[in-house]
Structure 1
Amino acid sequence: MAVSGQRTRFAPDRGLTRRMVTTMFLIGLVYVGFTGLLVALLGRAWPIVVVIAVVLFVVQFWFSDTIAEKAMGAREASPEQYPQLHGTIDRLCALADMPKPRVAVAVNDMPNAFATGRNPERAVVCVTTGLLRRLEPEELEGVLAHELSHVAHRDVAVMTIAGFLGVLAGAITRIGLWGGFRGSRDQNMAIAAIVIPLVSIAVYVLSLLLTRLLSRYRELAADRAAALLTGRPSELASALTKVTGQIARIPSEDLRRAQPYNAFYFAPALNARETAAQLFSTHPTLEKRLEQLGRISTELGR
């Protein structure tokens, strides 16, 4: 079920909706407790924290598509420049009965794709030139259907909101470590200088863990929705295998630059050994994704 209530032909996923609601509820509880602690410890200084929190949230949520595009070096691509790419997205949007997002291309040899935007009307789907060069048309269709599923289910908006507490906690931690609460003779502020950074770190880790658990499930949900929409799970499995294998050959320096945006990508910018070792991984393992697609292929009789 799409979180927005706007119906598309992407396969409904009550498990995804349930996990989104549960994660938002748990993070909300942590957020309320964290805010209460800040108000108690900061006294008259708490409005500054509220202003910082509101500004960070508005910027992160309202401009998520623009920020992601600029950070990843993506530029909007016209149908004249990339007719096959636009044609595939047009067909998938018609098949899914959803509005067409903006289409962007990033000149990057790392084969990958991502979707971002606070709602379907503001969404953008981006692919890299490395992906376009390596995938067959049917494989590319599977990847694009995966990204469009994220748009239809408003995954990006939910993950942005869910991840906001971590951003806020990280900002408060930095303020504390930079000495924002130091130099005061007030006993409460002295306590705040010690307690707030420690609590902020704990809140950041908890928020990160919850959002990464949700992120791994939403990737499996997008794989399933894409496979059922296109009716070709084997092509998506082929794309996954090809993309993951090719990413492992990308220079380490390029991968390190891409890693901060792993939650957006079709496949994480990590080699196989690093992915397996990541407790806070944004994606399930390749083996788990391929296993699910194998089951779907059996269900469809292909």
Structure 2
Amino acid sequence: MNIVRTAMLLAFMTALFMGVGLLIGGKGGMMIALVIAIAMNFFSYWNSDRMVLSMYGAKEVDERSAPEYYGIVRDLARRAGLPMPRVYVIDSEQPNAFATGRNPQNAAVAASTGLLRALSYEEVAGVMAHELAHVQNRDTLTMTLTATIAGAISMLANFALFFGGGNSRENSNPLGFIGVLIAMVVAPFAAMLVQMAISRTREYSADRRGAEICGNPLWLASALRKIALAADRIPNAAAEHNPATAHMFIINPLSGERMDNLFSTHPDTGNRIAALEEMARNTHARSTAPVRADNPVRKSRSVPTTGWGRGSKPPKGPWS
């Protein structure tokens, strides 16, 4: 079913891309857009994860450079029955995280330095379990491809004012200047609606599965509360320059000052927290899970309020 949905999404986004080409350059523009869309879909399938990671300057870490962070992801992946993903750190004060990759065998997870500083061990586990849930649900391919194509649609629409109309009667757009305006306004808006639909429907599912993976819904609920509060105060410059990728993050990274944020790509955080708290009540979740191979997410001696709580010095690693 997920494969069918991905195919339908790609077909819709390709048609939208071709529609923008038609409105900008008529039949010739539509054919050029079709060729570009096919090439982009093929290229994005194999390289979209690298593109997104590169956008955010993500650096890969391992067990030596980031032992606790890497260990959390390793233990959660084992618990979820997933291959070990590549693990990255993003140099950003805004606490946030995302997952990417075309399938579980080629997945990557990334957390910001701000997240690793601000959250407790348990909360980081909740966040990374959420991201691994996206990997397990095979959401990452759809979300990454959508980000790539939506970004291309927005860029193409920005060129509409300069290239709208065409010179020949055959290649001129059928609606004239009105068509250019539609390409400039409606196409990016439609792409944004698709992103919203994808993220809103899949975040709840990833929250629920992530809570099952880490073993305690309240860990993720607490993390979401902290991340949402910090994201409102701390800007994410890279995300502001690449708004088409906003739906990939666990919490919307955009400041809300741009038109891109007229509609949120994420469901209301309060509703997500309430659903996790209800899940905790229904399953009688306990925060004192045993440390065993069948439940490997370690519980720290105390839940720290200033990050990782390993003394006054920050932990070793790329975020210190």
TM-score normalised by structure 2 residue count? 0.75
Match of 2:109 among 107, 118, 125: 125
Cα 1:202–1:219 shift into 2, 3 Å: same
Q: Distance in 2 between matches of 1:44 and 1:168?
A: 18
Q: Distance in 2 between matches of 1:37 and 1:134?
A: 43
Cα 1:96–1:290 shift into 2, 3 Å: same
Superposition deviation, residue 94 in structure 1: 1.0
Q: Is 1:152 the counterpart of 2:136 in the alignment?
A: yes
Name the counterpart of 1:288: 271
Cα 1:262–1:168 shift into 2, 3 Å: closer
Name the counterpart of 2:234: 250
Q: Distance in 1 between matches of 2:193 and 2:227?
A: 26
TM-score normalised by structure 1 residue count? 0.79
Q: Distance in 1 between matches of 2:237 and 2:212?
A: 36
Q: Percentage identity across aligned positions?
A: 32
Cα 1:246–1:274 shift into 2, 3 Å: same
Superposition deviation, residue 133 in structure 1: 1.4
Name the counterpart of 1:216: 200
Q: Distance in 1 between matches of 2:175 and 2:274?
A: 49
Superposition deviation, residue 84 in structure 1: 1.0
Residue identity in the other structure for 1:67? M
Asked whether the equivalents of residues 42 and 192 of structure 1 are also in contact (C-alpha less than 8 Å), the reply is no
- Where does 1:83-98 land on structure 2 (aligned, <5 Å)? 83-98=67-82
Asked whether the equivalents of residues 21 and 29 of structure 2 are also in contact (C-alpha less than 8 Å), the reply is no
- Secondary structure of the 1:126 match is strand
Gaps of 5+ in 1: 5-19
Superposition deviation, residue 168 in structure 1: 5.2
Residue identity in the other structure for 2:215? G
Residue identity in the other structure for 1:228? E
- Secondary structure of the 1:127 match is strand
Residue identity in the other structure for 2:34? V
Asked whether the equivalents of residues 92 and 113 of structure 2 are also in contact (C-alpha less than 8 Å), the reply is yes
Asked whether the equivalents of residues 107 and 129 of structure 1 are also in contact (C-alpha less than 8 Å), the reply is yes
Superposed CA deviations along residues 266-292 of structure 1, whole A, max 9, x for unmatched, are: 212246x879x9552111112111111
Superposition deviation, residue 106 in structure 1: 1.6
Q: Distance in 2 between matches of 1:25 and 1:254?
A: 29
Q: Which structure has the highest helix share of the two?
A: 1
Q: Distance in 2 between matches of 1:168 and 1:258?
A: 11
Which structure is higher in RCO with an 8 Å CA cutoff and minimum separation 6? Answer: 2
- Secondary structure of the 2:234 match is coil
Name the counterpart of 2:306: none
Residue identity in the other structure for 1:293? L
Superposition deviation, residue 195 in structure 1: 5.4
Asked whether the equivalents of residues 27 and 170 of structure 2 are also in contact (C-alpha less than 8 Å), the reply is no
Name the counterpart of 1:65: 49
Q: Distance in 1 between matches of 2:242 and 2:171?
A: 41
Name the counterpart of 1:54: 38
Gaps of 5+ in 2: 286-320
Q: CA RMSD in A?
A: 3.4
Residue identity in the other structure for 1:250? I
Superposition deviation, residue 148 in structure 1: 0.5
Superposition deviation, residue 209 in structure 1: 1.0
- Secondary structure of the 1:189 match is coil
Q: Distance in 2 between matches of 1:98 and 1:170?
A: 35
Cα 1:244–1:196 shift into 2, 3 Å: same
Superposition deviation, residue 99 in structure 1: 0.7
